[in-house]
Copies of this chain bind each other. A is one copy, B any other.
Amino acid sequence: MSNTPHLKPLRTLCSSCSLRELCLPVGLNRDEVEQLDAVIRQSRVVKRGEYLYRSGEEFKSLYAIRTGFLKACVSSQDGREQVTGFYMSGDLVGLDGISSNHHGCDAIALEDSEVCELPFARLEEIGRVIPSLQTHFYRLMSREIVRDQGVMLLLGNMKAEERLAAFLLNISQRLYSRGFAANDFVLRMTREEIGSYLGLKLETVSRTLSKFQNDGWIEVNHKHIKLLKPKELKELVSGCAHQI
């Protein structure tokens, strides 16, 4: 789509990235961000449907998402698939690969995406030199653990309607914090992928969305969702200690 030809592949820099306040550079000063710039190997484009990495592949790098939307999923031998997360700009993916030096899940683009490759070994090195980066990185890993615990609460305790309400609010809040409209957005994933993430069948997801629409809480136009009564959705999930 771009009309701007360029001779070299575009070099992406944290220091000039609009995601500075969301992504890894949070809390770093100018010098530190420049050191971080030196770590980024390159930015990489992943087309819709393509794998960023596959389960079992050797783990070398984390990826910071610049633009686009990805899902992570673990697949079982007999074909069952569990979506473990959806990731958007500013999110960091691949943290599960550190433990065994092999990726533990697949990462698949749900729309054309661009990611920054961060070789983990280099990240470790500069973490030792920039304590604030290291601290921030520990926090990011811990945040992933907290997020997963929230999903466990959702999967273990909540009914279909509560799960879907929590899901919609979570997407809404994340888009909002990235400067998009909170109550009017387009889902990038299928009903089946939502269902997999929420531990529901796609028919249940569809039915529940229809019910919310009939109640006047949301407006559904295929993947285009409008939250008409976010407050009611929040009340539905309230009682759950953590949002996902």
**Interface size, A (range):** 35 or more
Which candidate, A23-31, A36-44, A151-159, is the interface stretch facing chain B?
A: A151-159
| A146 contact from B75, B99, B140, B151, Cβ within 8 A | B99
Residue of B nearest to A155 (CB): B155
Contacts A76-B239, A77-B238, A134-B124 given; does A82 touch B146 at CB 8 Å = no
Task: Return chain B residues, CB-CB under 8 Å to A197.
Answer: 156
The minimal Cβ–Cβ distance linking A105 to chain B, given in whole angstroms, is 7
Question: Does A104 make an interface contact (CB < 8 A)?
Answer: yes
**Bound Cα distance A196, B152 (Å):** 10
Binds B, one of A13-21, A90-98, A107-115, A220-228: A90-98
Given contacts A82-B157, A138-B98, A153-B82, contact A76 B240 (CB under 8 A): yes
**Nearest Cβ on chain B to A70's Cβ, whole angstroms:** 15
B142 with A97: CB separation less than 8 A: yes
The yes or no answer to A10 lying at the interface (CB within 8 A) is no
- Closest CB of chain B to A228's CB: distance in Å? 25
- State which of B135, B143, B199 has its C-beta within 8 Å of the C-beta of A157: B199
Rounded to whole angstroms, the CA-CA distance of A96 and B241 in the bound complex is 15
CA distance A124 to B238 in the complex (A): 36
B residues in contact with A135, CB < 8 Å: 124
26 pairs, CB–CB < 8 Å, chain A vs chain B: A55-B241, A74-B149, A74-B241, A75-B241, A76-B157, A77-B238, A77-B239, A78-B239, A80-B239, A82-B153, A82-B156, A84-B149, A96-B142, A98-B138, A98-B139, A98-B141, A99-B146, A100-B143, A124-B131, A127-B134, A128-B134, A138-B141, A141-B145, A145-B145, A155-B199, A157-B199
